[in-house]
Amino acid sequence: MIKPHGSDTLNSLLVTDNQLLQQLLTEAESLPSIVLNSAAAANAVMMGAGYFNPLTGYMNLADSLNVAENLHTEDGLFWPVPVVNLVKDTSAIEGASRIALRDPNTEGNPVMAIMDLAAIETVSDAQIETMAEQIFATLDPQHPGVATFTSLGNQLLSGNIQVLSLSYFQADFPDTFRTAGEIRDEIAERGWQKVVAFQTRNPMHRAHEELCHMAMERLGADGVVVHMLLGKLKQGDIPASVRDDCIRKMVELYFPANSVMVTGYGFDMLYAGPREAVLHAVFRQNMGCTHLIVGRDHAGVGDYYGAFDAQTIFADKVPAGALEIEIFNADHTAFSKKLGRVVMMNEAEDHTKDDFILLSGTKVRQMLGDGIAPPPEFSRPEVAKILMDYYQLENA
């Protein structure tokens, strides 16, 4: 099986020994504590679940700036996005060397990690902007990732962590949330050698479905891991539970048995386009996938990124040998009226735009809200039914 990024074996920061867990939970109650923001909590979940291997904690300022500007830490580890714990107020932990980190997304703010506090560093507004511009390629405050990152605070807490809880993800998505180690184990149990990862924050339409089929066929892959984001999204995006239902219905009806794993991970969407695509590659390698599908406007939002910037970054900025996972580059896929099937548009000869069935996301949402199913060439009817029920309930 493909090795994890940066190490020979996977390093999960989640404490699984029950005796040690109870000791740490007891200790945590006597420690100074802070309630994390959702972004820092998501980073803790990803480290705890092994997705951010080989990191052992939150980055300091030097590493954060180096990652943002040069895509590697001070000691040379390739990494695409700073993994930070930025806060606004450190008065509750002044003078402490060991602190408890509390979950902002669970009622009562239970402890989710213990941190050995290596440093508290003040980050200037200019440094925050430098990092934001490198990560998101814009400083437009309307960009949801920029808006979040620049509002987290100017106090940077760095140091190693022990993760005691993976927040709400295991309880809310027991059939879908999996750690990187659990996915590796299931890949091994299925006997898969060549494995394709498909990233999604949306329900999967016909184009996405066919893209998975194409990747499997062209790569000779044993299976696809559909890996959906279960954390926070921007307003208007479809909730994870609805996406989960849609994807499972599609896999049940339109994929061969033992060819797809439907799983999810606990992270908040960054909307960082190319940089987030590289982060996706890192943690898909950590969970045992050999290939990642990167399509048009991967992890993008609005018009901030070129259609294929998330593909070209792997050629332009990712050093040779930095990652073992390979990228399956995909063009925009759509149903061809001429050919009667879904194709990659750049592979369809003698076609004009009118030869494809193309619907904007806005148009699709409007149709679903009005109880009108998109054409079956665009969306499977069984999937459309789930989405129509959701939108009509929302609009009721």
- 351: exposed, middle or buried (Cβ count in 10 Å: 0-12, 13-18, 19+): middle
**Inter-CA distances, 6 with 11, 77, 386, Å:** 10, 7, 41
Residue 87 to residue 92: CA distance in whole angstroms: 11
Which secondary-structure segment (H or E) carries 156? strand 155-163
Residue numbers annotated as active site:
201-202
Residue 235 to residue 311: CA distance in whole angstroms: 27
- Of 300, 301, 280, the closest CA to residue 292 belongs to 280
- How many Cα atoms occupy the beta-carbon half-sphere of 232 within 13 Å? 18
Helices 274-286, 125-136: axis angle to 10 degrees equals 80
Residue 190 to residue 18: CA distance in whole angstroms: 29
The phi and psi torsions of 14 (rounded to 5 degrees) equal -75, 130
Q: What is the dihedral of CA 276, 44, 128, 305, to 10 degrees?
A: 10
DSSP 43-92: HHHHHHTTTTTT--EE--HHHHHHHHHHSB-TT--B-SS----EES--GG
